[in-house]
Amino acid sequence: MEDIYQGSFVIIDDDPINNLICSKFIKKICPRSMIKTFTLPLDGVKFVLSYDSVDNTAKTILLLDINMPATSGWDVLDTFTYSNDFRKTDYAIYMLSSSIATEDRNRAKTHPLVSGFIEKPLTIASIHKLIAEQ
């Protein structure tokens, strides 16, 4: 088993199967990392705004789905943008989406809180890539 990243992971996606797949792949590469998954975006937001990382040296990687009912990934980003409790320097946010819309990719590239766009499904290679960017 590898263990190339000591940071934590938060996954906000309404699809529990996707969350399970992401968690399994992350655990394979980073077995000691804490992974929190949320199928309800607002529960994920509450967690992120109240979470105090035990390890301040590594950013928490947040994988955020774009298309979710009621609260989209863009809505989540708006909440973080306007919250005094969001610590931008503690997080690397990646939009994780099956969206093929050019607008979503461009919006992710230009959003100040977003570190990148990852196409679903998450792969071992994409995890290695986003960890290398930290």
105 pLDDT more than 90: yes
The whole-number pLDDT of residue 53 equals 61
pLDDT tens digits, residue range 4-13? Answer: 788 899 999 9
Burial of 112-134, coded b for 16+ CB within 10 Å and e otherwise, reads ebbbebbebebeeebbeebbeee
Residue 22 belongs to some domain of the structure: yes
**Structural domains in the chain (count):** 1
CATH code of the domain in which 15 resides: 3.40.50.2300
Cα atoms in the Cβ-side hemisphere of radius 13 Å centred on 95: 28
Name the one residue in this structure whose structure tokens are 């009621």: 70
Taking 80 as the threshold, does the pLDDT of residue 129 lie above it? yes
Identity of the amino acid at 108: A
Is pLDDT of 106 > 70? yes
State the burial class of residue 14 (Cβ atoms within 10 Å of its Cβ: 0-12, 13-18, 19+): middle
Position 74 pLDDT exceeds 80: yes
Q: Is the pLDDT of residue 23 over 90?
A: yes
64 touches 12 (CB < 8 A) = yes
Q: What is the pLDDT of residue 56?
A: 59
Quote the domain boundaries for residue 44. 9-132
Question: In the predicted model, is pLDDT for residue 21 greater than 60?
Answer: yes
**Average pLDDT for the chain:** 92
Has residue 1 been placed in a domain? Answer: no
Per-residue pLDDT, 5: 83
Task: Please check whether residue 4 lies inside any domain of the structure.
Answer: no
Residue 2 lies in a domain: no
pLDDT score at 51: 80
In a domain, 68, yes or no: yes
